[in-house]
Amino acid sequence: MTPMHWLWLGAIALMLLSLAVLLPPLLMDGPVELSTPAGQDEAMLRRLYQAQLAELEQDRLGGRLSETDHAQALEELQRRLLSELDRPRKSITWRQSPWLRRGSALLLAVLLPVAAFALYLQVGDPKAAAQLAQAQPGTHGEGTDDAQVQAMVDGLARRLEEQPQNLPGWVMLARSYETLERYDAAAGAYRRALEEARRGQMEAKVQARLWADLADALASAQGGGLDGEAGKAIARALQLQPSQPKALALAGSAAVRHGKLDEAGKHWRALLAQLEPGSDMALRVQDDLLKLETLASEGSPTATAKAPDVSGGRLSGELRWAKGDAARASLAKAQVFVVARADGHPRPVAVLRLPAASLPAHFTLGPENLLDPAVSLSAFPALRLQARLSLDGQAMPKAGDVYSQMLSVQAGTSNLELELEPEKASK
């Protein structure tokens, strides 16, 4: 169902509701009382007669009417009363005519829709409806939605040309272009937003976010390249706000491309310190840091320096299923989280994420897996190590997760063994 279909269905529903209220009284077989009943009319006339009679009597007693005039006035009043009581009610014949009521109902059922449509043609915009119908060539799905989104984005662009000082509008336009994968146009919109931000003297973190967004759009337009103008935009964002999250992520990626692994690790560790511990984003950054260390430890030619030996602050061992290999097909989306905790520490000290399909596997928890880079594993005299199987791959624990046995260990321990029983997940 498209918006035009809902519009017409709503109009038809309102019209039918109006007819449902108006037509039933006109289609009833019995008489419809629309006026005051006859008994009430007669009582009203009698009260009026009694009031006028009392007034005539007061005039006679006060000497304002002679006996002869009083008698004539009384006779005239009685004659008028009798005339009113004998007069037939003209509305009775109309109310008791079934064909007249049914004819009125038929006329109303025809005229109401015609009048409504004529009013729409007069004050509505039929051309807009026709254009929308033409934009929807009778197919339902992504093509129709894309055409509608494109039309709205183009309309927003035209309005912003008339109102160029609308900073939120330029940001919205840029992100809309990114949704449509028109990255060059998105970069142009971000430039206009930056102009307005500088003109309005917006605070540094707002401008830093816009520079980072511009760098992201430029990189997408260049197929992922972070050199040239994109690199300058990243540098400008970090100059305005050294802790800007998107700029740190992009700066780390740019450093990896140039073989500067130490610099990349510095940027990504600064980013990790700002993320919610255990969140998907934090775990992805930890995975990237682990890859950096792997590159450095293998003596990658792109590495500028080898990672220092910090084996004394690591935990390593084997992670496997308790009863042989699990059914790989049922664990396609499952993830295993190896978590190290410490007494007196409110959150996990370190977390490692592994795809469940890769088990059995060797695991190592080190500095790259710390949730707080300022706190090392060796800072705690004892650690609790446990693995958790999440069938849907969610980082946050929930009911239905499967846990391994818990080990009490010290930093630097190796040859550890953790076992999981995936069959427990269905119990």
Residues 242-256 have pLDDT tens digits of: 999 999 999 998 888
403-421 mean pLDDT: 91
Q: Model confidence over 334-346: pLDDT tens digits? A: 888 999 999 888 7
pLDDT, residue 122, reads 59
Q: How far apart, in whole angstroms, are the C-alpha atoms of residue 268 and residue 253?
A: 9
pLDDT, residue 75, reads 78
pLDDT, residue 154, reads 87
Three-state DSSP class for residue 171:
helix
103-118 mean pLDDT: 72
Q: Model confidence over 178-191: pLDDT tens digits? A: 888 788 889 999 99
Q: Out of 26-30, 335-339, 379-383, 406-410, which region has the weakest mean confidence (pLDDT)?
A: 26-30
Q: How far apart, in whole angstroms, are the C-alpha atoms of residue 27 and residue 98?
A: 8
pLDDT, residue 356, reads 85
Q: Quick check: 33 pLDDT over 90? A: no
Percent of the chain with pLDDT over 70: 73
Greater confidence (333 vs 136) lies with 333
pLDDT, residue 283, reads 82
Domain ranges of the chain: 3-27+40-88+98-123, 146-297, 314-426
Q: pLDDT band at residue 277, thresholds of 50, 70 and 90?
A: confident
pLDDT, residue 379, reads 86
DSSP state of 11: H
pLDDT, residue 132, reads 47
Going through 229-302 in order, the beta strands assigned E by DSSP cover: none
Buried b (16+ CB within 10 A) or exposed e, 242-267: eebbbbbbbbbbbbbeeebbebbbeb
pLDDT, residue 233, reads 93
pLDDT, residue 117, reads 67
Buried b (16+ CB within 10 A) or exposed e, 272-296: bbebebbeeebbebbebbbebbebb
Phi, psi of 370 (to 5 degrees): -70, 135
Q: Quick check: 96 pLDDT over 60? A: no
Q: pLDDT band at residue 92, thresholds of 50, 70 and 90?
A: very low
Residues 216, 222, 225: CA angle, nearest 5 degrees: 70
Query: Which CATH architecture best describes the domain 146-297?
Result: Alpha Horseshoe (1.25)
pLDDT, residue 88, reads 59
Determine if the peptide bond prior to 360 is cis (ω within 30°). yes
Start-to-end Cα distance in the chain: 42
pLDDT, residue 334, reads 84
Q: Quick check: 49 pLDDT over 80? A: no
pLDDT, residue 237, reads 93
Q: Quick check: 30 pLDDT over 60? A: no
Mean pLDDT estimate for the chain: 77
In contact, 335 and 295? CB cutoff 8 Å: no
Phi, psi of 231 (to 5 degrees): -65, -40
- The burial class, CB within 10 Å (0-12 / 13-18 / 19+), for 187 is buried
pLDDT, residue 209, reads 94
Greater confidence (392 vs 308) lies with 392
Q: How far apart, in whole angstroms, are the C-alpha atoms of residue 250 and residue 212?
A: 8
131-145 mean pLDDT: 47
Greater confidence (16 vs 336) lies with 336
Q: How far apart, in whole angstroms, are the C-alpha atoms of residue 219 and residue 214?
A: 9
Greater confidence (35 vs 198) lies with 198
Q: Are strands 335-341 and 383-390 parallel, antiparallel or unpaired?
A: antiparallel
Residue 350, strand partner residues: 340, 370
314-426 in CATH: which number? 2.60.40
pLDDT, residue 324, reads 62
Q: How far apart, in whole angstroms, are the C-alpha atoms of residue 134 and residue 127?
A: 10
pLDDT, residue 404, reads 92
- The residues, ordered by sequence, that sit 6+ positions from 126 with a Cβ below 8 Å of its Cβ are 120
Greater confidence (95 vs 246) lies with 246
Angle between helix 204-221 and 183-199 (nearest 10): 160
Q: How far apart, in whole angstroms, are the C-alpha atoms of residue 335 and residue 237?
A: 35
Angle between helix 229-240 and 245-257 (nearest 10): 140
CB atoms within 10 A of CB 308: 8
258-273 mean pLDDT: 88
Q: How far apart, in whole angstroms, are the C-alpha atoms of residue 405 and residue 190?
A: 52
Q: How far apart, in whole angstroms, are the C-alpha atoms of residue 169 and residue 195?
A: 13
**Model pTM above 0.75:** no
pLDDT, residue 245, reads 93
Q: Out of 142-151, 183-192, 392-401, 414-423, which region has the weakest mean confidence (pLDDT)?
A: 142-151
Q: Out of 2-11, 145-154, 365-374, which region has the weakest mean confidence (pLDDT)?
A: 2-11
C-alpha closest to that of 283 among 338, 344, 234, 356: 338
Q: How far apart, in whole angstroms, are the C-alpha atoms of residue 217 and residue 225?
A: 10
Q: Out of 39-53, 134-148, 264-278, 329-343, which region has the weakest mean confidence (pLDDT)?
A: 134-148
DSSP state of 370: B
Q: Out of 74-78, 271-275, 390-394, which region has the weakest mean confidence (pLDDT)?
A: 74-78
